[in-house]
C-alpha cells in the first residue's frame, strides 16, 4: 500500500520566537526553519513501514510557498519516494489543509496517512483528525506504536493516565507522538539522490477549495513576563521563603 | 445562546477539569448543557448534574461510547450540535482526539486550547509553545472550542440539573478498542495537583525519582518529569510536563535537575511559584524560577525532605 505523509515547514524548535512590535504576528524573517518535529517522526514511521515490506511507496506532501520544497527534499533524502508541493503563499488553516489533503487522498488512495500530532507553531492539534473526518477514515492519534496486520492497523495511543490501544480498519489516519520512533538523519549521498526524485508542484487553484480563513487573528502579544526571582543559598532559606514569603507551603 | 460542554470522565469519575471548562462556558454566557457519553457511567451523570449553572445533563450511556472512541463520539456530538452555538471540550486527550472531527463535519474551524474568553466569538490562546499569545476571532456560525483547564477556576458543585437520557447510539464501526494500560498512582492527578515536583535528566536514572517521592508525600504533590527524563526511560510518558505532554499550573512547581528548555517551560510557566534546584548556574530554568537553589540535587533532595 501507499503511505501519504503530510509535512509542515515550521520555525526550528530551538528558536525562541519574537513577537512583532505592531502585534500583528510573530517575526519569522530570517529565522531558521525546519520540518516540524512530529512530521519528522511521521516520515520516519512511513519509511520503517516501507523497509518492513508493509508499504510500497511513501509520498510526502506539503502545503506552502516554494520554500517548503526544502523540507520535501529532506523527506525524500530520508527515504520518501516522491513529493507533492501544493503551492500557496497564504496561511492555510487546519480545516483547509485537511480539505486539500482530502483531495490528495482521493487521488492517491493511500492505505495509511501518517501526520504529526501537532505543529509546534500553531499548536492546534487538529489536521489529522479533520482529515479523518472528511475522508470517513478511523484515526489513531498520539501514536506511540503502529502495527499493520490483516487489513487493520493497531495503534497504541498516549492518553492521559497511560496508553490505549485501538484497532482501525484500513485505510486509516495515524498521528504521531514523540515516542513513536527516533528519526534518522539524512546521509549526504541520499541528499544528493533526493534532488533527482520527483517533486510535483500543484496550485491550490487546481483543488477548487475556498481557502478563506474562518478565524481572524486580531493580535499577537508576548506572554506576561514573570517577575525576576531570587537565588537562595540553602534549603533552610528556601523552606523559609516558601512558608513566609510565597505562602505556598505550611 | 446555548453551549454544549463535553464531560471528561473514566465512566466512574467526572474529571475536575470539566468544572473548569464549564467556567469557560459561563464566561461565554448562555444556557449550558453537559454531555456525558460513556458506558455504565451513571455515577458520572449524577456528578455532572451537580455542576453549578448547568441547565441539562445529556446522558448517552451506551456500549458504543464505552471507550469514547473518536469515530463514535464525534458522530454523537455532531448530531447534537444543531441545537448549540458553542461546543466546548477540555483540551485533554479525549477532547483533542474527537473535537476536530466534529469541527470538520460541521465545516467550521476549531479554536484549540483557549486560555481566556474575550467575548462569545473572541478567544485567547497560546501559540509557539506559549512564547506568543494570540487573540483570535471566530467567524464561524458555530464555535468548536477546546479549553485549557488550568487557565480557568472550577465552578461549584451545588447544582441540580435535569438529566435527559439519550437513546441514540452511533457506531461508525471503523475502529475498536483493544486494551488500556494505565499507570498506577496514588498521588494527586498531575493536571489537578496544587503542588508538582518534577525531575529531569539530572536525576540520572529512574530509581533516583524515589528521592522525589518522600517530598511529594509531605507536600501532597504530584510527580512530573521533563521530556529528557521520559525519553531516557526514567519514568512513563504520562508524567511528562511540557508542550507535548501535560500543561500544569499548580501553586508550587519544583523543578529538579531540569535545565528549562522552551518545550518544558510551555507546560509549567503559569505556575504560581516556581522553585528550581539545579547545579548549573546558567540553566535557563533560573530565569523563570521565583526561588532558585544552586545545588547538587543528590544533596539537596534528602535535606529538603528531612526539613519539611
pLDDT digits (tens, 9 = 90+) for B89-131: 999 999 999 999 999 999 999 999 999 999 999 999 999 999 9
Report pLDDT for A54: 96
A130/B101 CB distance under 8 A: yes
Among candidates B102, B132, B183 on the partner chain, residue whose Cβ is nearest the Cβ of A162: B183
Contact B13, A161 (CB under 8 A): no
A138/B238 CB distance under 8 A: no
Among candidates A95, A138, A157 on the partner chain, residue whose Cβ is nearest the Cβ of B71: A138
Report pLDDT for A227: 83
Percentage of chain B surpassing pLDDT 90?
Answer: 92
Cα torsion at A161, B168, B99, B110 (round to 10°)? Answer: -160
Report pLDDT for A244: 92
Strand pairing report for A33-35 and A9-11: antiparallel
User: Which residues on neighbouring strands pair with residue A231, listed in sequence order?
Assistant: B292
C-alpha A31/C-alpha A18 separation (Å) is: 10
A217/B136 CB distance under 8 A: yes
Locate B109 and state its grid cell.
474551524
pLDDT band at B271 (very low <50, low <70, confident <90, very high): very high
Report pLDDT for B192: 83
Report pLDDT for B19: 97
Report pLDDT for A248: 86
What is the pLDDT averaged over residues B141-170? 95
Instruction: Say how many Å lie between the first and final Cα of chain A, rounded.
Output: 61
User: Which residues on neighbouring strands pair with residue B285, listed in sequence order?
Assistant: none
Predicted confidence (pLDDT) at residue B40 exceeds the cutoff of 90? yes
Contact B298, B211 (CB under 8 A): yes
How far away is chain B from the Cα of A194, in angstroms, using its nearest Cα? Answer: 30
C-alpha B156/C-alpha A22 separation (Å) is: 40
B109/A214 CB distance under 8 A: yes
Locate A161 and state its grid cell.
493516565
List the alpha helices (DSSP H) in B185-307: 210-219, 227-231, 262-268, 285-288, 297-307
Report pLDDT for A226: 85
Contacts 24+ apart (CB under 8 A), A188-191: A190/A77, A190/A78, A190/A79, A191/A73, A191/A77
Q: Does B296 touch chain A (CB under 8 A)?
A: no
Report pLDDT for A250: 79
Q: Does B237 touch chain A (CB under 8 A)?
A: yes
Which run of H or of E encompasses B87? strand B86-90
pLDDT band at B168 (very low <50, low <70, confident <90, very high): confident
B179/A122 CB distance under 8 A: no
- Map residue B118 onto helix, strand or coil: strand
C-alpha B61/C-alpha B38 separation (Å) is: 5
Chain A residues near residue B71 by CB distance under 8 angstroms: 138-139
State ipTM.
0.94
The upper half-sphere exposure of residue A62, i.e. CA atoms within 13 Å in the direction of its Cβ, equals 30
From first to last of its 250 residues, chain A has per-residue pLDDT tens of 999 999 999 999 889 899 999 999 999 999 999 999 999 999 999 999 999 999 999 999 999 999 999 999 999 999 999 999 999 999 999 999 999 999 999 999 999 999 999 999 999 999 999 999 999 999 999 999 999 998 999 999 999 888 999 999 999 999 999 989 999 999 999 999 999 999 999 999 999 999 999 999 999 999 988 888 999 999 999 999 999 998 888 7
Chain A residues near residue B92 by CB distance under 8 angstroms: 160
The upper half-sphere exposure of residue A43, i.e. CA atoms within 13 Å in the direction of its Cβ, equals 30
Contact A135, A148 (CB under 8 A): no
Amino acid at each position: 500500500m501507499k503511505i501519504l505523509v503530510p509535512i509542515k515547514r515550521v520555525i526550528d524548535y530551538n528558536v525562541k520566537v519574537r513577537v512583532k512590535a505592531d502585534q500583528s504576528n510573530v517575526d519569522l524573517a530570517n529565522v531558521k526553519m525546519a520540518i516540524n518535529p512530529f512530521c519528522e517522526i511521521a516520515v520516519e514511521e512511513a519509511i520503517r513501514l516501507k523497509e518492513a515490506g508493509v508499504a510500497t511507496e511513501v509520498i510526502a506532501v506539503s502545503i506552502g510557498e516554494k520554500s517548503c520544497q526544502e523540507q520535501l527534499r529532506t523527506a525524500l533524502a530520508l527515504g520518501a519516494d516522491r513529493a507533492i508541493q501544493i503551492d500557496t503563499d497564504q496561511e492555510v488553516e487546519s480545516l483547509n489543509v485537511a480539505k486539500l489533503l482530502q483531495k490528495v487522498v482521493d487521488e492517491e488512495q493511500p492505505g495509511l496517512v501518517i501526520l504529526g500530532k501537532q505543529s509546534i507553531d500553531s499548536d492546534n492539534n487538529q489536521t489529522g483528525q479533520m482529515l479523518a473526518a472528511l475522508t470517513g477514515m478511523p484515526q489513531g492519534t498520539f501514536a506511540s506504536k503502529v502495527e499493520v496486520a490483516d487489513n487493520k492497523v493497531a495503534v497504541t495511543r498516549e492518553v492521559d493516565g497511560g496508553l490505549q490501544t485501538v484497532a482501525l480498519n484500513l485505510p486509516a489516519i495515524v498521528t504521531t507522538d514523540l515516542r513513536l520512533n527516533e528519526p534518522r538523519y539524512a546521509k549526504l549521498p541520499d541528499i544528493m539522490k533526493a534532488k533527482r526524485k520527483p517533486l510535483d508542484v500543484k496550485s491550490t487553484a487546481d483543488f477548487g477549495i475556498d481557502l478563506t480563513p474562518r478565524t481572524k487573528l486580531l493580535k499577537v502579544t508576548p506572554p506576561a513576563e514573570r517577575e525576576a526571582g531570587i537565588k537562595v543559598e540553602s534549603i533552610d532559606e528556601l523552606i523559609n521563603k516558601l512558608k513566609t514569603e510565597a505562602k505556598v507551603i505550611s | 445562546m446555548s453551549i454544549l460542554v463535553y464531560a471528561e470522565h473514566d465512566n466512574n469519575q467526572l474529571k475536575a477539569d470539566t468544572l473548569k471548562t464549564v467556567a469557560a462556558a459561563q464566561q461565554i454566557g448562555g444556557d449550558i448543557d453537559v454531555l456525558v457519553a460513556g458506558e455504565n457511567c451513571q455515577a458520572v451523570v449524577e456528578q455532572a448534574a451537580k455542576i453549578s449553572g448547568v441547565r441539562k445533563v445529556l446522558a448517552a450511556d451506551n456500549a458504543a461510547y464505552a471507550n469514547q472512541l473518536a469515530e463514535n463520539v464525534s458522530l454523537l456530538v455532531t448530531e447534537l450540535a444543531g441545537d448549540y452555538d458553542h461546543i466546548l471540550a477540555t483540551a485533554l486527550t479525549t477532547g483533542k482526539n474527537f473535537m476536530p472531527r466534529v469541527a470538520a463535519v460541521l465545516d467550521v474551524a476549531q479554536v484549540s486550547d483557549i486560555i481566556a474568553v474575550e467575548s462569545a466569538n473572541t478567544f485567547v490562546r497560546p501559540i509557539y509553545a506559549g512564547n506568543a499569545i494570540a487573540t483570535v476571532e471566530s467567524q464561524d456560525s458555530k464555535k468548536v472550542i477546546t479549553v485549557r483547564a488550568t487557565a480557568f477556576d472550577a465552578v461549584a458543585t451545588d447544582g441540580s440539573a435535569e438529566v435527559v437520557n439519550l437513546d441514540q447510539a452511533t457506531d461508525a464501526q471503523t475502529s475498536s478498542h483493544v486494551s488500556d494500560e494505565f499507570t498506577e498512582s496514588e498521588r494527586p492527578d498531575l493536571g489537578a495537583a496544587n503542588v508538582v515536583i518534577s525531575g529531569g535528566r539530572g536525576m540520572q536514572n529512574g530509581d533516583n525519582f524515589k528521592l522525589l517521592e518522600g517530598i511529594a508525600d509531605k507536600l501532597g504533590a504530584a510527580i512530573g518529569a521533563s521530556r529528557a527524563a521520559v525519553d531516557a526511560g526514567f519514568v512513563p510518558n504520562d508524567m511528562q510536563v511540557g508542550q507535548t505532554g501535560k500543561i500544569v499550573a499548580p501553586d508550587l512547581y519544583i523543578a529538579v535537575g531540569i535545565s528549562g528548555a522552551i518545550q518544558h517551560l510551555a507546560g509549567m510557566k503559569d505556575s504560581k511559584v516556581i522553585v528550581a534546584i539545579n547545579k548549573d548556574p546558567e540553566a535557563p530554568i533560573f530565569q523563570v524560577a521565583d526561588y532558585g537553589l544552586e545545588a547538587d540535587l543528590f544533596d539537596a533532595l534528602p535535606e529538603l525532605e528531612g526539613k519539611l
